Amino acid sequence: MRILLAEDDPDLSRQLKQALSDADYAVDHAADGEEAHFLGDTEPYDAVILDLGLPKVDGVSVLERWRRDGKQIPVLILTARGSWSEKVAGFDAGADDYLTKPFHTEELLARLRALLRRSAGHAAATLSCGGLRLDPRAARASVNGEPLRLTSLEYRLMHYLMMHQGRVISRTELVEHLYDQDFDRDSNTIEVFVGRVRKKIGPDRIETVRGLGYRLIPLEGEAESA
């Protein structure tokens, strides 16, 4: 899952980018509103963490532009303590959730997980597909109750496929959502990661739809994991 972090405070930006990376998100950072608007307008993010007090262009204006242009990306806004008017302006501009500074990083991560679940149509905190189970809070996955040992990129692949299970996902889409902006992207490597994950979860759970991409499906007759 790929996140845009739009925050101008250097120390907070470093802290949040590290926490998001540790939680196995691909993260791009924008230090001002102009860069945030450009990235959100040109790159396919799964969610945005948007500080309203950005330089050059404020966060509310950035969000209003995105919504006016039809961008439906989920947005979590960051506001100054006690600034209820900023919260109202943020929601009116199209925000999905807000967090007041200062805040605990764990709360931001929890709100982000909830935002991603809602946007993908999932209600439960854990994701399941037949015998597969993934817990975004702990960044852990299992198959038929057995823990899976996944690299960071393998986990991102599993997470994205499980968030969109049953839908055919192209290699290009996977590249756009698994890697951050600075990563040397190559769609051919996706095939390698899919092969690695298949070895760990079973070859038939990830279906190849020739010429289109991949689809995560439960095995025939397989019950949902408890």
Q: What is the pLDDT of residues 110-144, one digit of tens each?
A: 999 999 999 998 988 999 999 999 999 999 999 99
Whether residue 21 is found in the same domain as residue 116: yes
Q: What is the CATH number of the domain that holds 8?
A: 3.40.50.2300
∠ Cα 125 126 127 (to 5°): 125
Whether residue 194 is found in the same domain as residue 144: yes
Whether residue 79 is found in the same domain as residue 169: no
State which residues form the domain around 150.
127-216
Distances, alpha carbon 49 to alpha carbons 19, 88, 127, 179, 211, in Å: 13, 17, 23, 17, 34
Q: What is the mean pLDDT of residues 55-81?
A: 94
Counting the structural domains of the chain, the total is: 2
Whether residue 206 is found in the same domain as residue 176: yes
Whether residue 207 is found in the same domain as residue 165: yes
Whether residue 115 is found in the same domain as residue 134: no
Whether residue 113 is found in the same domain as residue 160: no
The tokens describing 132, both together, are: 């597969």
Which pLDDT does position 224 carry in this prediction? 52
Could you report the per-residue pLDDT of 144-170, keeping only the tens digit for each?
999 999 999 999 999 999 999 999 999
Could you report the per-residue pLDDT of 164-222, keeping only the tens digit for each?
999 999 999 999 999 887 666 666 788 999 999 999 999 999 999 999 999 999 887 66
Which of the listed residues 88, 103, 120 is the one where a domain comes to its end?
Answer: 120
pLDDT band at 226 (very low <50, low <70, confident <90, very high): very low
Whether residue 58 is found in the same domain as residue 114: yes
Whether residue 8 is found in the same domain as residue 116: yes
- Given a cut of 60, whether residue 223 has pLDDT beyond it is no
Residue 221 lies inside a defined structural domain of this protein: no
Whether residue 116 is found in the same domain as residue 166: no
Whether residue 107 is found in the same domain as residue 131: no
Residue 170 lies inside a defined structural domain of this protein: yes
Whether residue 141 is found in the same domain as residue 197: yes
Which pLDDT does position 221 carry in this prediction? 64
Which pLDDT does position 14 carry in this prediction? 97
User: Could you give the percent of the chain with pLDDT greater than 90?
Assistant: 82
User: Is the entire prediction scored with pTM above 0.75?
Assistant: yes
Residue 226 lies inside a defined structural domain of this protein: no
Q: What is the mean pLDDT of residues 71-89?
A: 88
